Amino acid sequence: MTDSWDTIADWYADLLQAGSAMHDFNRDVLLQHLPEELGGHRALDLGCGEGIIARALAARGASVVGIDPSPRMIEHARAVEASHPGTVIYSVDDGCVLSTVVADSVDWVTAGLSLNNVPDLDAALAAVRRVLVAQGSLVFTIPHPCFEAPYASWTQAADGAVRRVVGNYLTEGFWRSDNPDGARRAGNQHRTVSTYLTALVRHGFVLEAVTEPVPSAQVAAAQPQRAGLPPFLAIRARRA
C-alpha cells in the first residue's frame, strides 16, 4: 500500500502525543511569530494534523478552526479536543480550496509543516488570501528546503563529523521518502526558497519575518548531527 497522510495519521498522532522534540520545536518556532495574547482574534490552522498548533493558538485565547484533508487526522484532532478544555472546531478541507472557510473571516492563518504538502502552492495562497481579513497574516513553517531537499541524507566525513548531503535542491516536485519511520513517506512537495518567496509576493503578501531557527536543546540532544542546521524555515507574511 502506498502511504498517504490518512494512512499514517494514527502513527503521526501517536508520535506527537508521546512527545516529539522536533514537532514541539516547530510549534514553538511558529508561535514565536504571533502575539502572546490572542483573545478576540480568529485563527485558521491550515493542515492542522492532530491539532498541536491549533490547541496552542486556542490556549493563547484565539477562536480557532483547524482544517486538514485527512479525515483520520481530523478524527484524532477531535478526539484530543474532546478530552481538552479547548474550543477548536475541526473540518475536513483542502488547503488549496478552503471551501469551509468564509472570505475575510480570520485574522491569522497558520500552517505548520503543511504548505510543503499542498500540491498547488498558488491555489493555497489564493485561498489563504481570500479568507484573511485585510492586514491579516499568514505564519507558516516548512522543512528547510535547502537541507531537507529530496533524498537528503547523512554521511560521516573524514574528520568523523556527521554531515548533511544534499542533492537535487533545484529540482522541484513531489517526492516520497523511503524511510519507513519518517513522516515524508507520505510524500512531500519540494520547492525552492525563491519559489515560496516569489509566490507570496505574487499573491500580494508583504514579508514581515523570515527565520531560520537554531535547533532547540531538546532537538540537539535527540539529533546532535543537526547542530548548525535550521530544521525549518519560518515565514510571517501580511496580506497587503
Binding positions for ligand SAM, rule: CB under 6 A: 5, 16, 23, 26, 46-49, 52-53, 68-70, 73, 94-96, 112-114, 117-118, 183
Minimum distance from CB of 113 to ligand SAM (Å)?
Answer: 4
Q: Which residues contact 225 (CB under 8 A, 6 or more apart)?
A: 154, 162, 163, 164
Shortest CA distance to 50 belongs to which of 34, 66, 32, 63? 66
Q: Interhelix angle for 9-18 vs 71-82, to 10°? A: 30
Length of the chain: 240
The Cα–Cα gap between 105 and 136 comes to: 10
Q: Please, which residue, 5 or 196, has the CB nearer to ligand SAM?
A: 5
Shortest CB 39 distance to ligand SAM, Å: 23
For β-strands 106-112 and 132-143, DSSP reports them as parallel
In this structure, what is the dihedral angle of CA atoms 31, 34, 36, 40, given to the nearest 10 degrees?
-120
Closer residue to ligand SAM in complex, CB, 11/163? 11
- Nearer Cβ to ligand SAM (163/211): 211
Min separation Cβ 48 and ligand SAM, Å: 5
User: Of 47 and 145, which CB lies nearer to ligand SAM in the complex structure?
Assistant: 47
Least gap, CB of 49 to ligand SAM (angstroms): 3
Contact in structure between 125 and 145 (CB atoms under 8 Å): no
**What's the closest the beta carbon of residue 30 comes to ligand SAM, in angstroms?**
8
CA-based R_g, the chain, Å? 17
Give me the DSSP letters along 34-59: S-S--TT-EEEEET-TTSHHHHHHHH
- CB nearer to ligand SAM: pick between 67 and 237: 67
Distance CA(46)–CA(44), nearest Å, equals 6
Closer to ligand SAM at the Cβ: 52 or 235?
A: 52
Q: How far is the CB of 216 from ligand SAM (least distance, A)?
A: 15
Q: Considering the complex, what minimum distance in angstroms separates the CB of residue 116 from ligand SAM?
A: 8
The whole-angstrom separation of Cα 223 and Cα 21 is 10
Comparing CB distances to ligand SAM, the nearer of 99 and 135 is: 99
